[in-house]
Chains A and B, each alone.
Chain A
């Protein structure tokens, strides 16, 4: 219903006007929303922003916002969530999650709590993970290995679902209401603007 779309649009409006009031979400605005400060840089924020910004024009428009958030809906297919997470962690977009990329990400998460682990400890952590995830032992995780790994460790996808989305937009997404195929209609969106 229109009310529910408006609710999502309200969120978009709030985020997109927080620093630069232009109806578009800039990276600093997403940073402010996730970190409560627009200062500093974060690898994961960069990845999330890039995946939301499908058109690669440096800003997140409303259609892109909704399209990406779609994946986080509780009723969205697991396949979509697994795929999104894979693309998130495939830093250089090579189609594989390489060991170096995992190392970079582990260093980044530790930096969030200002921890600086020694190289050999980092290697220990990654060794253990790759033992588990890298089935063909080629030093990188391909899509199939990732899928199998996630199915064995479902909590890996816990940040890929936003239960809040269900209460904010219930029947908007097609997944929860199979009899109501609600696709993003550009005309409907321009009405909201």
Chain B
């Protein structure tokens, strides 16, 4: 009816700016009609995630077998790697993140009964685009000595304006804004998965998930190109074409 699609933009960042946030949707008259709000009851801020990543995880990992020779990084066997899977992490059943996802899905269900295409597209964008980033885990592999990995990470982080705090093979990267709002923090830990093969597990400790994936991680990995392992030959596998080893 307007002669053009509401979300026809040339590049993704501009398209992203057009996104309406959940609050905007909630205020829209279409939305308010016949809507029963999902009760966002227990607003328990789950700090377990943050604490676990920085404080406890080291204790959890340490067993007599795990501590490597000459104070190297902790060792991680195949099964420990497997337990990192989101599919095996049932604590997310109780997560706040999950409640948000269910709310988004709830919205989508209500909107599919409408004829308004642009609203559908808007909700699609809200639901699918966000979810794609939320589910992705971030880690990379390197054959460089772990000390080099850590020092490269520190150098890159500092060049990105982040404060660095390292303890053994675990480092915390932080940006604290002037007004303390929107604090952004990342924790990276290096593990030995095989002789001369190391894996860096990178997690967002606080801050916006979208910012973590879109602005931080891609940039971070590009700068660490020389330490991150990449496949040498082209594997005849379509998924390799779009995937990064980072």
Q: Do A164 and B91 touch across chains, with their CB atoms under 8 A apart?
A: yes
Question: Hey, which chain B residues are within 8 Å of A44, CB to CB?
Answer: 82, 85-88
Q: Kindly identify, within residues 98 to 155 of chain B, every residue whose CB is under 8 Å from any CB belonging to chain A.
A: 98, 100-102, 105-106, 128, 131-132, 134-141
Question: Hey, which chain A residues are within 8 Å of B98, CB to CB?
Answer: 33-34, 36
What secondary structure prevails in chain A residues at the interface with B? Answer: helix
Question: Hey, which chain B residues are within 8 Å of A14, CB to CB?
Answer: 102
Interface size on B, residues (CB 8 A): 57
Question: Hey, which chain B residues are within 8 Å of A118, CB to CB?
Answer: 231-232
Is residue A115 within 8 Å, beta carbon to beta carbon, of the partner chain?
yes
Look across to chain B and name the residue whose beta carbon is closest to the beta carbon of A124. B194
Q: Do B81 and A109 touch across chains, with their CB atoms under 8 A apart?
A: yes
Q: Do A125 and B194 touch across chains, with their CB atoms under 8 A apart?
A: yes
The CA-CA distance from A128 to B75 in the complex, in Å, is: 10
Is residue A158 within 8 Å, beta carbon to beta carbon, of the partner chain?
yes
Q: Do B89 and A159 touch across chains, with their CB atoms under 8 A apart?
A: yes
Q: Do B197 and A116 touch across chains, with their CB atoms under 8 A apart?
A: no
Question: Hey, which chain B residues are within 8 Å of A32, CB to CB?
Answer: 101-102, 105
Stretch at the interface among B11-19, B160-168, B234-242: B234-242
Is residue A94 within 8 Å, beta carbon to beta carbon, of the partner chain?
no
Look across to chain A and name the residue whose beta carbon is closest to the beta carbon of B41. A10
The smallest C-beta distance from B87 to any residue of chain A, in angstroms, reads: 3
* A159 and B141 contact, Cβ closer than 8 Å, known pairs A18-B105, A114-B136, A116-B235: no
Look across to chain B and name the residue whose beta carbon is closest to the beta carbon of A131. B77
Q: Could you list which residues of chain B lie within 8 angstroms of chain A, going by C-beta atoms?
A: 48, 60-61, 63-66, 77-94, 97-98, 100-102, 105-106, 128, 131-132, 134-141, 193-195, 197, 229, 231-232, 235, 237, 239-240, 243-245
* Apart from the given pairs A37-B101, A89-B79, A113-B140, 8 other A-B contacts in the complex at a CB distance below 8 Å: A34-B87, A34-B93, A45-B87, A105-B78, A106-B81, A124-B194, A152-B63, A162-B94
